[in-house]
């Protein structure tokens, strides 16, 4: 089934519209005349959208870890606008702590937001998009969906899981005319590093050297301008056959090439052992 061409404004549903990329992309869609169901845990943080864009925006409270609230928000958006063209899973945060330091409850809480929350949104919108015969489901991952950094290994793992789910989803829903895309930003000057986007584990003194190294390296990163990403995302949702993955930023491709080159070298070095293990 080929995607149905959308004439006129697109209808968006965006999680995490209050800050960072979610706010930038919500504003970009509204500025060009599209219509958006903008969601956030605290709707006061996105109330200004209503003042600026009137009926073109629907403000909805949404905690993606609350499955019932997800269903209500998606239903309300569909009833208000009549269809859903673009759905972006953007809500998420990072747990800062080594593998030993992080507590199980904190790891689970992050996974509920970063992995299970997006799944709830996907499961809520798919019946609508199947009935329409079209739609585009996007999700904000990270270049860290391909490699890891010490101290945020659990966050990285949530993005690896996120990418695996989206990759499987892309194949499963292709015949319904639904596109799937993973957005993979590098380092950007967003509020992702703020207290609202980070959860810290208890620090063990044994990891002080690692912690200092990571924070020092992060401080040296060249961070992109989040406002500059709007054009790329609009181009992505307007593309007839959008890619499964799209980087945002100038350094990602070089980093990922090195990561996969190193992995392939190791696999090749152990290939004889692997083949012998076939039996």
In CATH terms, the superfamily for domain 11-248 is NAD(P)-binding Rossmann-like Domain (3.40.50.720)
pTM listed for this prediction: 0.93
Contacts of 273 (CB under 8 A, 6+ apart): none
What does the domain layout of the chain look like in residue ranges?
Answer: 11-248, 255-279
- Rounded Cα distance between 174 and 95, Å, is 33
Place of tokens 């409270």: 61
What band does 191 get if pLDDT is binned at 50, 70 and 90? Answer: low
197-44-158 Cα angle (round to 5): 25
Query: What confidence score (pLDDT) does residue 198 get?
Result: 74
Instruction: Please answer whether residues 140 and 181 qualify as being in contact, where contact means their C-beta atoms are separated by less than 8 angstroms.
Output: no
Tens of pLDDT along 113-164?
A: 999 999 999 999 999 999 999 999 999 999 999 999 999 999 999 999 999 9
Helices 117-132 + 153-173 axis angle, to 10: 20
Distance of CA 118 to the CA centre of its chain: 8
**Which helix (H) or strand (E) is 77 found in, with range?**
helix 67-81
Beta bridge partners of 224: 188
Q: How much is the mean pLDDT over the chain?
A: 93
Tens of pLDDT along 224-243?
A: 899 999 999 999 999 999 99
- Rounded Cα distance between 209 and 205, Å, is 9
Tens of pLDDT along 83-115?
A: 999 999 999 999 999 999 999 999 999 999 999
Query: What confidence score (pLDDT) does residue 3 get?
Result: 46
Residues labelled catalytic: 141, 155, 159
Place of tokens 């004439």: 7
What band does 5 get if pLDDT is binned at 50, 70 and 90? Answer: low
Query: What confidence score (pLDDT) does residue 63 get?
Result: 97
Tens of pLDDT along 38-68?
A: 999 999 999 999 999 999 999 999 999 999 9
């Amino acid at each position: 089934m080929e995607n149905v061409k959308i004439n006129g404004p697109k209808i968006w549903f965006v999680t995490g519209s209050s800050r960072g990329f979610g706010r930038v992309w919500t504003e970009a869609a509204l500025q060009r005349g599209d219509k958006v169901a903008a969601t956030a845990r605290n709707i006061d943080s996105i109330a200004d959208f209503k003042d600026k864009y009137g009926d073109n925006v629907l403000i909805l409270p949404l905690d993606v870890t609350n499955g019932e609230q997800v269903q209500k928000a998606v239903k309300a958006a569909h009833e208000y606008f009549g269809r859903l063209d673009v759905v972006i899973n953007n809500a998420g945060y990072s747990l800062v702590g080594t593998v030993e330091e992080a507590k199980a409850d904190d790891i689970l809480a992050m996974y509920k937001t970063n992995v299970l929350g997006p799944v709830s949104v996907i499961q809520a919108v798919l019946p609508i998009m199947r009935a329409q015969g079209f739609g585009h489901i996007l999700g904000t991952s990270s270049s860290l969906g391909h490699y890891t950094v010490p101290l945020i290994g659990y966050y990285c793992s949530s993005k690896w899981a996120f990418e695996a789910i989206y990759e499987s989803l892309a194949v499963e829903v292709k015949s319904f005319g639904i596109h799937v895309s993973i957005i993979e930003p590098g380092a950007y000057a967003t509020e992702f590093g703020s207290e609202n986007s980070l959860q810290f584990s208890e620090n063990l003194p044994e990891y002080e050297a690692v912690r200092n190294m990571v924070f020092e390296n992060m401080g040296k990163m060249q961070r992109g301008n989040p406002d500059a990403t709007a054009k790329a995302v609009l181009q992505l949702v307007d593309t007839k056959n959008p890619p499964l993955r799209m980087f945002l930023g100038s350094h990602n491709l070089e980093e990922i090439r090195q990561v996969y080159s190193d992995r392939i070298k190791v696999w090749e070095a152990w290939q004889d052992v692997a083949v012998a293990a076939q039996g």
